[in-house]
Amino acid sequence: MLAASDPAGAAGLYQRAAARLEVQGALDGAGFALAEAAQLAAVEQDVEGALAAFPRAVALLRAGGVTPAYRGPVVRAYARLSARAGAAGAGLTAVDKVLAEIGTPSTGGAVGSATGGAVVSTLTGDAASEGTVPAQEDGTAHERLELLDTRARLLATLGEHDRASAAAEAVAEEYARSGDLRGAAHAFWLAGSARAAAGDLESAVPALESAVDGFRLAHDQDDRARVGNELVGVLRRLGRDDEAGQVAESVSRR
């Protein structure tokens, strides 16, 4: 594929396609094409170009009637890049905006119905065909969790460790209720790391323990070992060497 062999060339093609589609009034397609161009620009380390293109892509998608659930992956890609570029605050603002549109499970939020005839995108997966309302609701609920997870990570990047840990633990519990054990484990890991970074080692321990258990249940030994090593370090800093040894032995077993 051209995107793999010549990312810069592919980015240019997507940019030109986006411009043509916008002129034709196909704002949804233009938005997805520009999002692809932005992603490829980021791959080519054109961070400035990507950071300029992503917000424009999101605006086109919104103007084209694309639902928040389908805009969310583009917003998350922008947020991750903004964090890498030292501008996590801009990413946080974008994430908060789309989360406000999605709303909460109890309110339903502004889910909408149009997917905008999205092109096949590496950011969003295959464009959805008309499906059942429950399937759309499930997709929206999942994207909301992904956005909440991204939000917690942005807060941690900004050094707001207390807010990050609270946000991460809340989304971890939601992941667990939805049956996404790996997602829950990663969020608990973030909660524990944020608490440790804030100096609250005692509170970091149960969050990291939950992450270890989550990765065990998800059969992810590699991440279980990584978070286990972090837990061992926290326990040793607390002077709980016996517990640290038990954890180290446990996570070393396959």
The per-residue pLDDT for range 79-92, each reduced to its tens digit, is 999 999 999 999 99
Q: Is 45 part of a structural domain of the chain?
A: yes
Q: Is 56 part of a structural domain of the chain?
A: yes
Q: Is 34 part of a structural domain of the chain?
A: yes
* pLDDT over threshold 70, residue 51: yes
Q: Please name the residues in contact with 27: beta carbons below 8 A apart, sequence gap of 6 or more.
A: 21, 60, 61, 63, 64, 65, 116
**Reported confidence tier of residue 3, pLDDT bands at 50, 70, 90:** low
* pLDDT over threshold 50, residue 121: no
Q: Are 30 and 121 in contact (CB under 8 A)?
A: no
Q: Is 151 part of a structural domain of the chain?
A: no
- From CA 5, how far away is CA 13, in angstroms rounded? 14
pTM comes to 0.85
Q: Is 74 part of a structural domain of the chain?
A: no
Q: Are 154 and 91 in contact (CB under 8 A)?
A: yes
Q: Give CA angle at 63 (146, 113), nearest 5°.
A: 60
3-state SS class at 60: helix
Q: Is 213 part of a structural domain of the chain?
A: no
How much is the average pLDDT of 30-50?
95
- For the chain, the domain total comes to 1
Q: Whole domain around residue 44: which residue ranges? A: 1-66
How much is the average pLDDT of 115-139?
49
Enter the tokens of residue 207.
């969050």
How much is the average pLDDT of 227-240?
98
How much is the average pLDDT of 250-254?
83
- From CA 198, how far away is CA 246, in angstroms rounded? 25
Q: What is the pLDDT of residues 155-205, one digit of tens each?
A: 999 999 999 999 999 999 999 999 999 999 999 999 999 999 999 999 999
Q: Is 253 part of a structural domain of the chain?
A: no
Q: Is 13 part of a structural domain of the chain?
A: yes
